[in-house]
Amino acid sequence: NAGVTQTPKFQVLKTGQSMTLQCAQDMNHEYMSWYRQDPGMGLRLIHYSVGAGITDQGEVPNGYNVSRSTTEDFPLRLLSAAPSQTSVYFCASSSDRGMNTEAFFGQGTRLTVV
């Protein structure tokens, strides 16, 4: 059981380049989310999804796109990378199991935009 898998683990981009951060989970969770972690600011929610075909914006959505065509995958796209998007990105998945709700996190992707 792999849990939540993020790829790549590290990435360096030039300003203006585009790329997709991949996130896959094998727990059949309906809920998935993307966070970015910046020093001193904790984790901030970028986008989230409550099921295949359904996405919504979080606290800091600008500059990022998402889609959810399958239950397993929730890719995060940077259309035109900017230095302000240098951060560590975490993907999470969870299932609404009432009292047993827990979010499982991937290992993170460290992105540097130069």
69 versus 107: smaller Cβ distance to other proteins: 107
Nearest-angstrom CA–CA distance, 26 and 36: 22
Q: Report if residue 32 touches other proteins, rule: CB under 8 A.
A: yes
Token digits for 53? 């075909």
Q: How far apart are CA 56 and CA 4, in angstroms?
A: 20
Give the residue with the Cβ less far from other proteins, 26 or 96: 96
In degrees and rounded to multiples of 5, residue 95 shows phi and psi of: -130, 135
CB 60 within 8 A of CB 36: yes
Contact between 92 and other proteins by CB under 8 A: the answer reads yes
The minimum distance between CB 16 and other proteins, in angstroms, equals: 28
Output 18 or 107, the one with its CB closest to other proteins.
107
Count of residues touching other proteins (by CB under 8 A): 30
Nearest approach, Cβ of residue 114 and other proteins (Å): 21
- Does position 75 interact with other proteins (CB under 8 A)? The reply is no
Task: Classify each residue of 51-63 as buried b or exposed e, where b means 16 or more C-beta atoms within 10 Å of its C-beta.
Answer: ebeebeebebbee
Which residues here bind other proteins, judged by CB under 8 A?
31-33, 35, 40-45, 48-50, 58-59, 88, 90, 92, 94-96, 99-105, 107-108
